[in-house]
A and B are shown apart, each in its own frame.
Chain A
C-alpha cells in the first residue's frame, strides 16, 4: 500500500547537522541522505516518525528548515485575488524577486468574475517573511484580497503530465500504477505513454517517483491551485475537516 505520510526529520535523523533542503519531499525508500545543494539547520523540532509500520512505504518526508534569523521556514499557500489588469502578474512577480521572497509555484487564472483573477502562490519563508509578503502584496493597488490558506483546512491540486518510456514489457506495470494513482493515459505513442494525474503535491511527487524507473522523457507540472474547504472563506477558526474525497 502506498500512503503519504508527513514525517518530521529530527527524531528520524538525530544529530543531523547539515545544510540540506529539509523541506523537500523525499522518498524514504532508497533515501540516500542529505546531499542536495540547499541548506538547513539541524536542530529540528519534530515528532517521532510514527505510523510507518510494515507494508507501508513512506513517500513523503517533511523537514523543517531554519533560516539565519532562527525562524522556521514553512511553505505557505496564498490565495490572492487581483484585478485582471495588464501587468498585474509582472507586479506580483517583480515584488517577490525584488524583495527576495521565494516563489515555489504560482498559478493564475480568472475567477467566476472575469474582472478578477486569482493567483495561488506557494511561498516559502518564516513568519516574518510571510508577514512582509502579505503586507507588500497588499500595497499593490491591483491586489484586492489575500488569504493564507495554510492556516485553515484547504484542498489543493496540481496537474502533471508525464511522458514516460513504455516498452511493451513494462506497459502493464505502468498501467497498474496509473490505476493506483487514479491517473489517466491521454496519449499513446509507439514507445511512450503520456499520463496525466491531478492531486496534491505529495501524490504527484509519489507518482513521479514511481514512474522514474521506467524513464521519464518529459514532464510538465502546473503550479498549485487551492481552495478553502467548506462554505466559502467563513471557516476561519473552524476545525472541522472534510474528507479529501479524491
Chain B
C-alpha cells in the first residue's frame, strides 16, 4: 500500500525523468528504512532481536544503521534483554522479531514488561497485507494475542504511517504509566516506499496521562499526614519509574516516617538508611509488616497493593487511613479502600506535598519500630554447609550494595530481596508481577548493554537459569561480562517450599537433575566456577568480579533451606511463619 504522497511522487517520476526523478528517488525510502530512521531519530541506540523471513527488509535496513543490534539466542531473551535495558536506563527497550513463531516467542517477555510497567517497544514482522487472515505461512495474529498484555499496539497498514507510528509508540510506552507497545509491520509495508518525514505532532486524543495532581487532594493528604501519629510509607516501583527517590528520602526524613518497599520498589529508598524497613509483604521483614499492621496512616507511593503485599485485604493495615499516590487512576481503590487518592506523577506530587509539610517526629513510634528491628531481624542458621543467604550477603559486601542485580524467580529471588542492601534506584531488576523464570540472564545482558561500565549480577536458581541459558552465548558473543550466581539447591526450591508447608512434603516434580553448570559455561566460552564450601565463597565472588568474561558461579547450597519469614497466601501480615 502506498500513501497519496508516495503515489504522487511516483507519478511525477513517470512523467519527467532525469534530474526530477533523481530528486524523487532521494526522497523515497523503504518502509524498513523509515522504521529504522524513525527509531534513530527518537534516540534509540540498541535493538535486541532475532531475524526471520518477514523481518528481512527491516534487517536489511539495520545493516546500514548506526543502531547497535544485539542478536539474542531466543526471542524471549531479546524481549527480556530489552526489558532489563529499559529498567536499568529508564530509556525504552526495543526488541525485534519476525512474524509467527518469532512474534509468539516475544509474548512472555511482553507480558513480563506489562506487569511491571516497563517502557518497551516490540517490533514484529508480519506477512504481507494481502496474505493477512489466510493462515499464511508464519502468520500469527500477534496484535490480537498481545491485546491484553500491551499498553497499546499497531498493525501498520501503510508505509507512510510508519514514522508517525514509531513516534507514538515510543511516546505511549514511556509516558504516564509506562508499558510495552507493539508495532506489527507487514512485509509489504516494510518493503514499500514512502517519503520520510519526521513525525513532529502526536495525534492521540484519547491519551492524556495526568501528571500534576489536584492541589486539593495534595492538601488533604498533607493534612492527614500532619495529623497522623504513626505514619508508614509504602513505596513501590512507581518511585523508581518516576525517579522520585530524592523526594521520597526528603519526605521520610521530614516526617521521620519509616519506609517499606515493595519488591519492585527496592532501591527507591536506600536500604541502609535507618528509616528503611526493607521489603514488606509475603516475604517481607517482620518489622515492615508489623509497622504496616499498626500504623495509623499508610502513605502508598507508586505501589499497587498487590496480593503478595496485602495478604488478606480485609485485615491489611487495619488501623490506617490510606493515602494512595499513583499515576494510574485505575489503581486507586482497585484492591483496597483508599481514603485519600492522589493521581499524578510521584515526583511532582511529592514535590507539591513537601511544600505543605513541617518536620515531625513521634518518638514513641520511632522507638517502637527500632525495637522491632532489633528484636526481629532477618536471620538464618549460619552453621553447616553453604547457605544461600550468606552468598547474597557476600555479593552485597563485595559490591558495596552498588552492583546492578537481576534475578530469576524463586527462593533465590526472595533471598536477594531480603539480604542484598540496595542503595540506589534501578539497581534491582526482577520480574515481580508475572514472576517469570528465565528473566534474569537476558535481563542482565540488557542491563550490561545499557550500563557497560557497571558490575552486573544475575542471581539465579538452578531451575530458572535453564529457561534461557542459551543467552550465555549472547553475553560471550558481545563481550558482556555479566556474572551469573546460581544458588543450586537441586530443586525448584520455591515449589518445594510450598509443598513442604502446604502439601505434606509431597515433593511432586520439584526435584531437579541438573547439568554440570561449570562445563556448560565453558562450552559457551564463559568462565565457570563451582563453590561448595563457605570458605570458597569470598574468593570465588572476587574472581568473578575481576574477570573480564561472563562468569557462571555454581553455588551448591543447603538443599532444603526455606525463605522466611513468610505470610501464608491470603493470610494476615503480622501473622508470619518463621
Closest to A85 in B: B154
* B residues less than 8 Å from A139 (CB atoms): 328, 330
Instruction: State the CA gap A143–B205 with chains docked (Å).
Output: 8
Neighbour of A141 across the interface among B143, B172, B328, CB < 8 A: B172
* A residues less than 8 Å from B359 (CB atoms): none
Instruction: State the CA gap A91–B155 with chains docked (Å).
Output: 13
Count, A-B residue pairs, CB within 8 A: 41
Q: A132-B334, A136-B330, A141-B151 are in contact. Are A90 and B206 (CB under 8 A)?
A: no
* B residues less than 8 Å from A86 (CB atoms): 155, 157
Instruction: State the CA gap A163–B332 with chains docked (Å).
Output: 49
Residue B216 lies at the interface, judged by CB distance under 8 Å to chain A: no
Q: How far is the CB of A129 from the nearest CB of chain B, in Å?
A: 11
Q: Which of B319-353 contact A (CB under 8 A)?
A: 328-330, 332-334
Whether A144 and B205, one on each chain, are in contact in the complex, defined by CB atoms closer than 8 angstroms, is yes
* A residues less than 8 Å from B152 (CB atoms): 140-141
Whether A98 and B148, one on each chain, are in contact in the complex, defined by CB atoms closer than 8 angstroms, is yes
Q: How far is the CB of B227 from the nearest CB of chain A, in Å?
A: 27
Residue A87 lies at the interface, judged by CB distance under 8 Å to chain B: yes
Instruction: State the CA gap A138–B332 with chains docked (Å).
Output: 14
Q: How far is the CB of B322 from the nearest CB of chain A, in Å?
A: 16
Neighbour of B329 across the interface among A98, A135, A144, CB < 8 A: A135
Q: Which of A121-154 contact B (CB under 8 A)?
A: 128, 131-132, 135-136, 138-145
Interface residues on B, range: 20 to 34
Whether B148 and A94, one on each chain, are in contact in the complex, defined by CB atoms closer than 8 angstroms, is yes
Residue B385 lies at the interface, judged by CB distance under 8 Å to chain A: no
Residue A197 lies at the interface, judged by CB distance under 8 Å to chain B: no
* B residues less than 8 Å from A87 (CB atoms): 143-144, 147, 153, 155
Closest to A136 in B: B330
Closest to A140 in B: B206
A interface footprint on B126-159 (CB within 8 Å = 1, 0 otherwise): 0000000000000000011001100111010100
* A residues less than 8 Å from B333 (CB atoms): 128, 131
Residue B364 lies at the interface, judged by CB distance under 8 Å to chain A: no
Closest to B203 in A: A83
* B residues less than 8 Å from A94 (CB atoms): 147-148
Q: How far is the CB of B145 from the nearest CB of chain A, in Å?
A: 11
Instruction: State the CA gap A84–B144 with chains docked (Å).
Output: 17
Q: How far is the CB of B551 from the nearest CB of chain A, in Å?
A: 42
* B residues less than 8 Å from A136 (CB atoms): 330
A interface footprint on B170-195 (CB within 8 Å = 1, 0 otherwise): 00100000000000000000000000
Interface residues on A, range: 20 to 34
Residue A82 lies at the interface, judged by CB distance under 8 Å to chain B: yes
Whether A91 and B147, one on each chain, are in contact in the complex, defined by CB atoms closer than 8 angstroms, is yes
Closest to B331 in A: A135
* A residues less than 8 Å from B153 (CB atoms): 87
* B residues less than 8 Å from A98 (CB atoms): 148
* B residues less than 8 Å from A140 (CB atoms): 152, 206
Residue B207 lies at the interface, judged by CB distance under 8 Å to chain A: yes
Whether A143 and B206, one on each chain, are in contact in the complex, defined by CB atoms closer than 8 angstroms, is yes
Instruction: State the CA gap A105–B329 with chains docked (Å).
Output: 26
Whether A138 and B147, one on each chain, are in contact in the complex, defined by CB atoms closer than 8 angstroms, is no
Whether A83 and B155, one on each chain, are in contact in the complex, defined by CB atoms closer than 8 angstroms, is no
Whether A135 and B330, one on each chain, are in contact in the complex, defined by CB atoms closer than 8 angstroms, is yes
Q: How far is the CB of B442 from the nearest CB of chain A, in Å?
A: 27
Q: Which of A164-204 contact B (CB under 8 A)?
A: none
Residue B513 lies at the interface, judged by CB distance under 8 Å to chain A: no
Residue B17 lies at the interface, judged by CB distance under 8 Å to chain A: no
* B residues less than 8 Å from A132 (CB atoms): 330, 334
Q: How far is the CB of A91 from the nearest CB of chain B, in Å?
A: 6
Q: A83-B206, A144-B205, A144-B206 are in contact. Are A90 and B144 (CB under 8 A)?
A: yes
* A residues less than 8 Å from B147 (CB atoms): 87, 90-91, 94
Instruction: State the CA gap A8–B333 with chains docked (Å).
Output: 30
* B residues less than 8 Å from A141 (CB atoms): 151-152, 172, 204, 206-207
Q: How far is the CB of B476 from the nearest CB of chain A, in Å?
A: 40
B interface footprint on A51-93 (CB within 8 Å = 1, 0 otherwise): 0000000000000000000000000000000110011001100
Instruction: State the CA gap A139–B178 with chains docked (Å).
Output: 12
**A residues apposed to B, CB below 8 Å:** 82-83, 86-87, 90-91, 94, 98, 128, 131-132, 135-136, 138-145
Contacts A86-B155, A87-B155, A144-B205 supplied; 7 other A-B pairs, CB < 8 Å: A87-B153, A98-B148, A135-B329, A138-B330, A139-B328, A139-B330, A145-B206
Q: Give 7 nearest A-B pairs by CB, closest first.
A: A135-B330, A144-B206, A141-B152, A141-B207, A143-B206, A135-B329, A144-B205
**Interchain residue pairs with CB less than 8 A apart (26):** A82-B206, A83-B206, A87-B143, A87-B144, A87-B147, A87-B155, A90-B144, A90-B147, A94-B147, A94-B148, A128-B333, A131-B333, A135-B329, A135-B330, A135-B332, A136-B330, A138-B329, A140-B152, A141-B151, A141-B152, A141-B172, A141-B206, A142-B206, A143-B206, A144-B205, A145-B206
